[in-house]
Amino acid sequence: MLFSEIYSSYYNTVAAIISSAQKHALDSDSLYGIVRESAFPESVVTIGGSLESGKWPLIKKDYTTNIKNPPTMPLSTLQKRWLKAVLGDRRIGLFVDEKTRSELGRSLEGVEPLFSERDFFLYDRYSDGDPYSTPDYIEKFRTILNALHQRKKLKVEYAGRFDQTKRFVISPLKIEYSQKDDKFRLLSKIRKRNTVVNIARILKCELLENSTAETWRDEDLPRGGASVTLEIHDERKALERVMLAFAHFEKSAVQVEENVYRLSLNYDSRDETELVVRVLSFGPMVKVVEPQTFVEQVRKRISKQMELMKKNLVENH
């Protein structure tokens, strides 16, 4: 694993025990106390027992240590290469200020990035992504981050659909990124109502210092989960094209007949209209099996398209 929560927890726990031993503040009770606080329940036997028995020769029987220097966890070459790649991401400026970014760059000087944006080709991503590098966008994004970290409300001016400026106070929940849209959205609550706000359409936002954001429960989270089942007739490489088109969706496929496959897709219900259009682009090779609500949307879309075609024919004659 590149970064592991489990193994990092083990290393950090042992490091805390060694640090305590170096200060001559370690005994059996404090050793097991550190393990219980820092590691996982099953680690009490593994870590505590291994250190006390001498299986891991880091702590002596009198709970001191021969290790002189403070314990550290140096990064591997692979981890450094991954960090260098992340540091080169065009969105990193939203989370890291220029001074910190420069310091990190110097510490990783000479490290080859593990990957770059040039290594990826997203053929179906929209080209009007958020302006990540503009000072105004960065300022608004960091204000939102501060509100999330401090659990404060935000006073917002927002550009509506019909060039109307809306003003409201929101309780932020979390920031969500859409790879397909190349945009950040803020999941939030306005007057007890769950809503999704496009960050790029925020004109101004101000942290309300004396406010406290509403407490969120699991049931308050905007739920967008939905699924659709498709029947694919594998002619003209239809299966391959469908799998590529929906590569970023959670899905499962089974073969039901020769050259006929059934594909189940999980998607965000907010993107349903877009998904209907993409399914229709495959023509008769792909049939919607369920749910019926999705089938009805496909039928309405086809009927609307046929009406437009008839209208165009009448006008042209």
pLDDT digits (tens, 9 = 90+) for 262-313: 999 888 776 787 788 888 888 889 999 999 999 998 898 888 888 888 877 7
Instruction: Quote the CA–CA distance of 185 and 162 in Å, as a whole number.
Output: 19
Q: Which fold has domain 135-220?
A: SH3 type barrels. (2.30.30)
| Residue 115 CA: distances (Å) to CA of 79, 93, 180, 183 | 12, 18, 20, 21
> DSSP state, 207?
E
Residue 133 is predicted with a pLDDT of: 92
Residue 150 is predicted with a pLDDT of: 92
Pairing of strands 153-159, 165-178: antiparallel
Phi, psi of 154 (to 5 degrees): -125, 135
- pLDDT(126) > 70: yes
Q: Pick from 21-30, 162-171, 204-213 the range whose average pLDDT is largest.
A: 21-30
Average pLDDT over residues 129-146: 95
Q: Which fold has domain 225-315?
A: Alpha-Beta Plaits (3.30.70)
The string over 231-265, giving b where at least 16 C-beta atoms fall within 10 Å of a residue's C-beta and e elsewhere, is bbbbeeebbebbbebbeebebeeeeeeeeebbbbb
Selected residue with higher pLDDT from 227 and 314: 227
> Would you state the structure tokens that stand for residue 118, as one six-digit string?
């040039």
Q: Are 92 and 101 in contact (CB under 8 A)?
A: yes
Q: Parse the chain into domains and list their residue ranges.
A: 1-73, 77-119, 135-220, 225-315
Average pLDDT over residues 89-103: 93
* Tens-digit pLDDT profile for residues 206-229: 999 888 877 665 455 555 578 999
Q: What pLDDT band is residue 62 in, cutting at 50, 70 and 90?
A: very high
| Residue 300 CA: distances (Å) to CA of 116, 264, 306 | 43, 22, 10
Contacts for 179 with CB less than 8 Å, ≥ 6 apart: 122, 125, 248
- pLDDT(1) > 80: no
Residue 28 is predicted with a pLDDT of: 92
> pTM for this structure?
0.60
Q: What pLDDT band is residue 120 in, cutting at 50, 70 and 90?
A: confident
Residue 132 is predicted with a pLDDT of: 94
Q: Are 230 and 262 in contact (CB under 8 A)?
A: yes
Residue 149 is predicted with a pLDDT of: 92
Instruction: Quote the CA–CA distance of 137 and 254 in Å, as a whole number.
Output: 45
End-to-end CA distance of the chain: 66
Element holding 267 (H helix, E strand): strand 260-268
Which range has the worst mean pLDDT, 154-158, 164-168, 293-297, 313-317? Answer: 313-317
Q: What pLDDT band is residue 123 in, cutting at 50, 70 and 90?
A: low
Residue length of the chain: 317
Average pLDDT over the chain reads: 86
| Residue 191 CA: distances (Å) to CA of 2, 168, 209, 222, 256 | 42, 9, 19, 15, 49
Element holding 96 (H helix, E strand): none
Residue 217 is predicted with a pLDDT of: 57
**Beta carbons within 10 angstroms of residue 18's beta carbon:** 19
Q: Are 183 and 130 in contact (CB under 8 A)?
A: yes
Q: Are 220 and 175 in contact (CB under 8 A)?
A: no
**135-220 and 225-315: same fold?**
no
